[in-house]
Structure 1
Amino acid sequence: MSNVRAYRAALVHFSDDPRAAGPEACIHHPDGLLLVEDGHVAACGDWRTLSATLPADVPVEHLPGRLLTPGFVDAHVHFPQTDMIGAPSGQLLDWLETRTFPTERAFADLAHARDTAKAFVAELLRNGTTTALVFGSVHRAATEALFEAADGLDMRLIAGKSLMDLGPEGLNETVEAGRADTEALIRDWSRRGRLGYAVTPRYALSSTPAQLEDAGRILARHDHVWMQTHLAENPGEVRLVGQAYPDACDYLDVYDRFGLVGPRSVFAHAVHMTDRSLHRMAKAGAAIAHCPTSNLFLGSGLYDLARVDAHGVRTGLGTDIGAGTSFSILSTAGCACQVAKLRGGALDPVRALYLATLGGARTLGLNDRIGSFRPGAEADFVALDPGATPLMARRTAGVSDLADLLSALMILGDDRAVARTWIAGRVAHDRG
């Protein structure tokens, strides 16, 4: 039993979406025990019950005051934008031209790409993110640098190089070059270790119809890859897409006509959506990455989670670095709760944690592997510290209600609230 690790702490995870399945979908053990064996969850339950069955030779690490949760899932993030968080600009299209594209040109330099990739992966783990769906730059070698960094840690990460045959100078490519690089990355990296590949047309205006059609063909040829892109983020962007594709029913229909809307498709933002689009997404099994801090930073709008839920479309959370303002999925979840209020609805912190864990895993179609503490799941998890700062310690002292505790963590917490992060049962980050 030497390969078994046992952790005693408060535990929380989900068996389903509490919105649909009710409060019993949230499994909370104030005094719990988590058993990990060979990189997978062996058991999870109440300390008093489960410890009675524990073999005598299994040491138990006691983590008093800590809350163990499955690792966080970031459903939309840009690794080349790590160094431009908070850069001032106008709204989306101006921000792309004045801030983003100049920053991404630097990723033609492999040394810069490798250095940024290592920092990016370390930042994810420092914030408790154990799985991410990542946009790369247009450069194949930069995306390879990201895969190398994640693979070296046995991290579950899905990424793709951006397809941009209408990109600005220094960031454009031909359809043929984009296809060749994408096929090579799929061949060399997809399904290596815990890596995955996502066909990545940046957005409808960065690619010609020929490249979008080619992306659909690549997706159809490889049934194990994902597709990620941006959708209906900003009103000005939506208007320009409508002008470029006057025959399309709406923005989603532009992607749909090229075969890019399916069960492994994840669309970032989806702020300005038609009912027809949401109905079509639900029917196709496509998902949305909700990026609240980015939408607020760029003034793009307020995501309507209640409306998306009503249509039955899956939602995960995305930090959208670098328009997003924090790598922390905890603070992103807190922002999502506030945006729901601004929309006249509500997102309680318990369900927000679901979106950050099992909900994110479902967004990526990986809920059979990650996102919960069910036996057999991959042991990617985090230890949260409600007393990480003096204010947090004061705020959470004596708090026993889970929703109240999670609200404090999400509103006051950031990377400092993540005491430790485990990848496949091994410690990948330890704040102490």
Structure 2
Amino acid sequence: MVKRVSCVFAALLLTPVCALGGESRAFEEYNRAVAAAREGNARKALTGYMAALSDARFASEHPEAYYWAGQAAVLCRDARAAPLLEKALELCGDVEVRRRARYWLAEARVAGGDYSGALAALDGGETAAIYWNRTLLLRLRIMSEIGGTRQVADAVNLVLQVKDGDDGLARLLPAAAERIRSTGGWEDVRAFLVNVVKKAGPESRRTAAYIGAAEAVRAGKDDAVLEFLAAANDKSAAAALAGAVASMKKGDYDTAETAAAPLLNMENAKPAAVETARRVLVELHLRKSRPDAALAVLKESNEPPWRNEALIRVLRLAAGMEDWKSIIKAGGIEWLGELSPGEAAEMLYLSGWAYMKTGMSSEGARFFLRFAEHGSGRPEAPEALFLAAACFRDAGREDAAVAAMKLLTALYPDSVYAKASEGGEPAAIDVNDLAGDKSGVFGNEE
């Protein structure tokens, strides 16, 4: 059975005004493709267009077919999309087709992760009027990936200035806000979201308000949380969250949890409201020194930048409390691919200590060695190799312990740990002498 594109994509699959006259096989393939496109079957349409274009004479006489094939390829997520649309821009003399091709070429490049190339396509000339709103939203998506604070804000303002231009804006706001926060800071993201709340349509306004509340939680700005929640105009979820934050400000964490926790499973709750509730709950668990509870909540988050940042806060709290079991429960390695280099190094280091302190020496050694790999050049790297050797020795793996010490003396010959070892024997330093509060070893790195 041939899969068809979704209704949304089918609506985008514009087709030639009419089939082409002609008796060659190429014309037959082209006309079958047109019929498939009208049915919303992008894959079948693409197959037909490509078959027609394989006829050199047909391709030369009807270069607009490259555009129709390229458009279908975008909808099918086919890698041939960009080359086909580039060919259409090169060969087709029809101005309107070229304007449409420019938009779809940008879509194709975004799908391939080439955001600079997509921006170049949009900046290369005018796009078709029928794609005006979609072009603005696409530009915003691109800016949310590669732009700076001002560029993202300007892209949103363009969308807001167009009638009905905020259609589709709500789903792009999380990425836009994250980009502004990472390139600017709390005040920048606050100003940006306040502007959206003032000017956007109801859906985008509510989404912006919840994102603003979530960002305020992240920044520790309880008053701003309440301001954004008031702007959400959502009597059920927003009111419950406002009550939770007000209780948290007073130090009444149990009442705050009672108010916020039900939102995680509230039927028909906005995703942004649920994410805000999740951040509020993690924050109150951290303030109440409950790393295991905070970890359970943040693991369900769909916002990696905040989730990863919160994970490191949880690990630091647990290390400061010597709650090694919570660090182990965090599942170290499964997060590795999502964390920044600094976050990954800290997670590996603290996990190594957790496994070592709970008697799982082989696992501890594994984490310390991974840290030495990720954190090479860091001041803790020699210590990590020393601890890996100690863990291996404790696990009865003498050869591995000696190998770790040799690596230590080779990489960091001037370190106190290397100088304390003779012939692979870490005799001058006791592991227990290194114990203590590890929660602040890495400071507040991003």
Q: TM-score, normalised by structure 1?
A: 0.29
Which structure features the higher share of strand residues?
A: 1
Could you state the TM-score of these two structures normalised by the residue count of structure 2? 0.28
Greater percentage in helix = 2
Instruction: State which structure, 1 or 2, has the greater radius of gyration over its C-alpha atoms.
Output: 2
Which structure has the higher relative contact order (CA within 8 Å, separation 6+)?
1
